[in-house]
């Protein structure tokens, strides 16, 4: 469905339609989407993504993902830096989950099992409902950002888990058969 939305903005032949410029093909797509309102509305409501890491790792990971996918909305990155109060991070994680949840859910990704970002996120599971994976990597984040319009949060978490694992490869064994 995302390719349909992209076509709406990159069509070569344009005709005025209200105060925006659309091609005839785009108009047909819009007419088709009127019958699929619930699906179209679902595409406007994104599953929120919260990345919680040591240092600026999460922010840099998001920058890398945006190089590939473009600017993203409804994503927040929180980092624990030297000298930061862990309890304040717990509160920021809690508030981030609340702010990102528009009814479709939130997927929280942390960097390392057992680390402080993991622990403060886990502590929030007692109060809030959200999906949660640890061991975030670029394939996992790209899967989350690119698939969150199309799946519910439980399915998205499963897909991200698989993408994260599949993104880890021993290339010596695969290429050189060692």
Q: What are the tens digits of pLDDT across the range 130-147?
A: 999 999 999 999 999 999
pLDDT of 108-118, one tens digit each?
999 999 999 99
Q: Which residues contact 74 (CB under 8 A, 6 or more apart)?
A: 46, 47, 48, 49, 100, 102
Assess whether pLDDT exceeds 50 at residue 99. yes
Average pLDDT along the chain: 82
User: Whole-angstrom Cα distance, residue 109 to residue 107?
Assistant: 7
What is the number of other CB atoms lying within 10 angstroms of the CB of residue 84? 14
Q: Looking at residues 165-171, what average pLDDT do you find?
A: 95
Does the pTM surpass 0.85? The reply is no
Write out the DSSP string of 45-70.
SPPEEEEEEETTHHHHHHHHHHHHH-
User: From the DSSP assignment, how many helices (H) and strands (E) are in the chain?
Assistant: 9, 6
Which domains can be identified in the chain, with CATH numbers? 2-43 (no CATH), 46-166 (3.40.50.510)
Task: Give the tens place of pLDDT for each residue, 10-64.
Answer: 333 333 333 333 333 443 343 344 434 355 555 567 899 999 999 999 999 999 9
Strands 75-80 and 20-22: unpaired
Strands (E), the chain: 15-17, 20-22, 48-54, 75-80, 106-110, 131-134
Q: If we measure between CA atoms, which residue out of 9, 100, 98, 1 comes closest to residue 46? A: 100
Q: Distance between CA atoms of 116 and 122, rounded to whole angstroms? A: 10
Nearest to 105 by CA among 148, 136, 138: 148
Res. 151: pLDDT tops 60: yes
**66 confidence band (pLDDT: 50, 70, 90):** very high
Q: Say if residue 7's pLDDT is above 90.
A: no
């Amino acid at each position: 469905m995302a390719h349909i939305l992209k076509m709406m903005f990159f069509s070569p032949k344009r005709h005025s339609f209200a105060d925006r410029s659309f091609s005839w093909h785009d108009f047909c797509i819009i007419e088709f989407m009127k019958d699929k309102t619930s699906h179209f509305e679902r595409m406007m409501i994104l599953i929120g993504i919260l990345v919680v890491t040591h240092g600026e790792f999460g922010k840099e990971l998001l920058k890398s993902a945006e190089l590939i996918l473009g600017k993203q909305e409804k994503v927040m990155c929180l980092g624990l830096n030297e000298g930061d109060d862990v309890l304040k991070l717990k509160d920021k994680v809690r508030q981030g989950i609340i702010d990102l949840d528009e009814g479709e859910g939130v997927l929280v990704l942390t960097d390392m099992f057992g680390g402080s970002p993991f622990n403060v996120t886990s502590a929030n599971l007692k109060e809030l409902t959200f999906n949660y994976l640890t061991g975030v990597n670029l394939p996992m984040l790209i899967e989350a950002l690119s698939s969150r319009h199309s799946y519910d949060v439980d399915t998205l978490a499963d897909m991200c888990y698989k993408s994260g694992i599949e993104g880890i490869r021993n290339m010596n064994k695969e290429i050189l058969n060692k």
